[in-house]
Structure 1
Amino acid sequence: MADKNNLENNSKDVCEVVCTHPDVVNRVKDRMIEEDQYSELAEFFKIFGNPTRLKILSLLAIEDLCVCDISETLNLNQTTVSNQLRILRANNIVKYQKEGKMARYSLTDLHIEMIYKVGLEHILE
């Protein structure tokens, strides 16, 4: 019975008549990015799929921080935080600046903060 309900619900999501609009299809096809760019974009968004990394980003959206301060704030050991920061750094999400023996982390640019904030705004609607 559940399969029949799914079929009925899914049938509401499709056109009842097959009628393509070549001008529309061509217009949107012309604006599509390359296949490898879709793959790269998918990999980029995977970075945001880890709660610990998102917590780190949320902190760095407030203020630049060192590993010790991030670890203390999130109640995580420094190794865990360092591993996540390494992933974020490798994907150009965060950067760091050495200050003596300390490294202070920040978001690479405003785009990263915007992605985080727009995602948060979306789930809070």
Structure 2
Amino acid sequence: MAKDMCEVTCIHEDRVSRVKEQIIDQPFSAVATMYKLLADQNRLQIAYALLLEEELCVCDIANIIGATTATTSHHLRQLHKTGIATYRKEGKLVYYSLVDHHIKQLIQQAFSHMKEHPTYAI
């Protein structure tokens, strides 16, 4: 038997009941979708760029990540569609920004964590 598995089945009913009550109404699907979007390197770079600079136009973001404006717009639309980013139009330019401080904190904490625990890097 593997060292990382219980050798017998033992259910701690009080703990199981307590946790089940707390997780039943959590938006797991939405959170998983958010993480899937940020798991793409281009979209994560875009989000990180928007963390560093409050607002950037599509052309600037494309230049920063080294992609075409079409590819960049595609990624930005996905970030917008799921509520991670928002945009405003000014004349012929479209400026994007992150929606709120929660997304900013999430990204900051992930990069901070990687600095402390570089073993996750593949």
Bucket of the pairwise TM-score, normalised by the shorter protein: 0.7 to 0.9
Aligned pair 1:60/2:50, yes or no? Answer: yes
Distance in 2 separating the partners of 1:57 and 1:41: 16
Q: 1:120 aligns with which of 108, 111, 114?
A: 111
Match of 1:111 in 2: 102
Counterpart secondary structure, 1:20: coil
> How big is the alpha-carbon RMSD for the aligned residues of Structure 1 and Structure 2?
1.6
The gaps in structure 2 that reach 5 residues or longer are 117-122
Distance in 2 separating the partners of 1:94 and 1:38: 20
TM-score of the pair, normalised by structure 2 = 0.84
Largest Rg, 1 or 2: 1
Write out the 4+ residue segments of structure 1 that deviate beyond 3 Å after TM superposition: none
Give the letter aligned to residue 40 of structure 1: A
**Correspondence 1:85-96 to 2 at 5 A:** 85-96=76-87
Distance in 2 separating the partners of 1:112 and 1:106: 11
Match of 1:47 in 2: 37
| Deviation at residue 84 of structure 1 after TM alignment | 0.6
Give the letter aligned to residue 42 of structure 2: T
Name the % identity.
Answer: 40
The gaps in structure 1 that reach 5 residues or longer are 1-7
| Deviation at residue 43 of structure 1 after TM alignment | 1.6
**Whose helix proportion is higher, 1 or 2?**
1
Give the letter aligned to residue 24 of structure 1: R
Distance in 2 separating the partners of 1:33 and 1:13: 27
Aligned pair 1:14/2:14, yes or no? Answer: no
